Structures are given as structure tokens and as C-alpha cells.
């Protein structure tokens, strides 16, 4: 790994980092030299993954503002400061059209996927600025860039995440803090297992994806490490789409 992609001596916090994309991002940051606070809402999973990776960990329900404050304080105490924040925690919620949507589910999806990122960036970015600047990576989604008849609140929240990155980039850029979003497309994870096993779905989706395959969590992690590292030092307010070309394809 070239020096431009190194994060030696840097302190990072990654939410939703015990599986899938979040865990891969944490592993990528660690491989680049950073110390990383591991977190998820499940205390057992958090302790297990933190121990396996040799990093500090704290369980956190990101829908709880007080828990986010405790997580930030924990990261500062354990690592001595913060240079990198990755807001990854999220849920998909109940699929279906907006007509007839369950508003309680809507509220929870918005709280976890979008509101938590507003709160956590508000808590963490001042500390990143105080260290002389750094980076935040907000995990959005391809779903926030395309119309869809079944992905409702999730897509709306993820579109908001991309806009949050743009706004925060303008707000915090003068203090040396870069804020970007990453929008994964269809990624092969444990959660996407049922779709991976659906031959009809996969045939349709891969036909609309120029690379003709799902992505891997490590490929999303590579984008996040780039945005967090000196290699991305002049990139801010960007939404980096990691989707094998699905967004730009007409399916032909």
C-alpha cells in the first residue's frame, strides 16, 4: 500500500462495524494503520469482533442520542482523539410502496439511517477539526439515486445521507474536515443472501450491471479507505458510487 493510502497513527470510529460492509471498512482502516473503535447495537457481537480485530469496542443503539454521545466519548478516551468517522449503521425497514407505509417503521428507518448520522457528525466533527482536520465517510446507497417501487423510507433516508455529506463538506471544509458519501450498489453480504439465491432477481440485476456481478464488502471498504486517507485529500462533498456500473446502465 502506497504512503498516500496509509492511516498510520490515525484514530477512527466506525458504526455498524461487526459484519458486512461496516466490518470490511473497519478491517480496511486497520490494514491502513488506523486504530478503530468497533460498534454495533449488539453487545455480544461488538465484543467478539473488537476482540478478534484487537481494537476497542462499545455497543451503541444509534437511534439513541445519549448512546451516540457515550460512543463519541468512548472513542476519544480510548484513542485520544478522532481523525476519521465512518457512519455505516443502518436498516432496510419494511419494503413496499409509500402508499400505505407503516409510519412507525418509517420513523425508525429515518432515525437509524439519517438522523443518527446528523447527530453523530455533530458530536464527532468538532473533535476531528480540533486534531487539525480529517475525514468523515457517510454510507449512503444506490437506492438513494434511483427510483424504486418497493424501497421506500430506506431510499429516502439514503438520499438524505448524500445531501448531508454535501452540506457538511461546505460547513466543515474551512476547518480541514472532508466529508464524503459512499453509495454501494448490490453487494454480496449475509443480509443479501436471499437475493443472491433468487435466480430470477439475479438475472435481472446482473443484466443491468455492466460488470455482471455483485460487489464485495472489501470493494466498498477500498472506496472508504481512499476517502479517509491522504490519497483523497482534495475530495470532499462527493458521493462515490460503488455499484459495478448499475447506475449508468440502461440494461442493454
pTM over 0.95: yes
pLDDT for residue 23 is more than 60: yes
Q: Which long-range contacts (CB under 8 A, 24 or more apart) does 97-103 make?
A: 97/149, 97/150, 97/152, 98/152, 101/152, 101/153
Domain membership flag for residue 207 = no
Is residue 153 domain-resident? yes
Domain of 228, in residue numbers: 3-188+217-240
Rounded to 5 degrees, what are φ and ψ at 182?
-120, 130
Backbone φ, ψ for residue 38 (5° rounding)? -95, 140
pLDDT higher than 60, residue 1: no
pLDDT of the residue at 8? 98
pLDDT score of 36 more than 70: yes
Task: Pick 250 or 232 by higher pLDDT.
Answer: 232
Asked if 232 and 180 touch (Cβ cutoff 8 Å), the reply is yes
Indicate which CATH number applies to the domain containing 105.
3.40.50.720
User: HEC states along 185-242?
Assistant: CCECCCCCHHHHCCHHHHHHHHHCCCCCCCECHHHHHHHHHHHHCHHHCCCCCCEEEE
Active-site residue list = 154
Does a structural domain hold residue 49? yes
Q: Is residue 201 part of a domain?
A: no
pLDDT for residue 151 = 92
Report if residue 208 sits inside a domain: no
pLDDT digits (tens, 9 = 90+) for 150-195: 899 999 999 999 999 999 999 999 999 999 999 999 999 988 889 9
Residue 251 pLDDT exceeds 90: no
Cα separation of the two ends of the chain: 37
176 touches 233 (CB < 8 A) = no
Burial class (CB in 10 A: 0-12, 13-18, 19+), 217: buried
How do residues 209-235 score in pLDDT, each as one tens digit?
999 999 999 999 999 999 999 999 999
Q: How many domains does the chain have?
A: 1
Closest CA to 184 of 220, 209, 155: 220
Q: Residue 136 in contact with residue 129, Cβ under 8 Å?
A: no
Enumerate residues 6+ apart whose C-beta is below 8 A from 193.
none
For residue 205, being part of any structural domain is answered with no
**pLDDT tops 70 at residue 40:** yes
Q: Looking at the predicted structure, is the pLDDT value of residue 137 above 80?
A: yes
110 in a structural domain: yes
Q: What are phi and psi of 189, to 5 degrees?
A: -130, 175
* pLDDT score for 252: 77
Phi first, then psi, for residue 21 (nearest 5°) are -65, -40
Tell me if 194 is assigned to some domain: no
pLDDT digits (tens, 9 = 90+) for 46-105: 999 999 999 999 999 999 999 999 999 999 999 999 999 999 999 999 999 999 999 999
Amino acid at each position: 500500500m502506497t504512503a498516500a493510502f496509509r492511516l498510520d497513527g490515525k484514530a477512527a470510529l466506525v458504526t455498524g462495524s461487526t459484519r458486512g460492509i461496516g466490518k470490511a471498512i473497519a478491517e480496511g482502516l486497520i490494514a491502513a494503520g488506523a486504530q478503530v473503535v468497533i460498534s454495533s447495537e449488539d453487545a455480544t457481537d461488538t465484543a467478539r469482533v473488537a476482540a478478534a480485530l484487537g481494537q476497542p469496542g462499545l455497543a451503541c443503539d444509534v437511534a439513541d442520542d445519549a448512546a451516540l454521545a457515550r460512543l463519541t466519548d468512548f472513542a476519544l478516551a480510548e484513542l485520544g482523539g478522532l481523525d476519521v468517522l465512518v457512519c455505516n449503521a443502518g436498516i432496510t425497514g419494511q419494503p413496499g410502496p409509500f402508499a400505505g407505509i407503516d409510519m412507525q417503521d418509517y420513523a425508525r428507518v429515518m432515525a437509524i439511517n439519517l438522523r443518527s448520522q446528523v447527530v453523530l457528525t455533530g458530536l464527532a466533527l468538532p473533535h476531528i477539526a480540533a486534531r487539525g482536520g480529517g475525514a468523515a465517510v457517510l454510507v449512503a446507497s444506490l437506492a438513494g439515486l434511483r427510483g424504486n417501487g418497493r424501497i421506500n423510507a430506506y431510499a429516502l433516508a439514503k438520499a438524505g445521507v448524500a445531501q448531508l455529506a454535501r452540506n457538511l463538506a461546505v460547513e466543515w471544509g474551512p476547518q480541514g474536515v472532508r466529508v464524503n458519501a459512499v453509495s454501494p450498489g448490490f453487494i454480496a453480504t449475509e443480509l443479501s443472501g436471499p437475493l443472491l439465491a433468487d435466480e430470477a432477481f439475479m438475472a435481472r440485476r446482473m443484466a443491468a450491471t455492466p460488470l455482471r456481478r455483485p460487489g464485495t464488502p472489501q470493494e466498498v471498504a477500498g472506496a472508504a479507505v481512499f476517502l479517509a486517507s491522504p490519497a483523497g485529500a482534495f475530495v470532499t462533498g462527493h458521493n462515490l458510487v460503488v455499484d459495478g456500473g448499475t447506475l449508468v446502465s440502461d440494461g442493454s
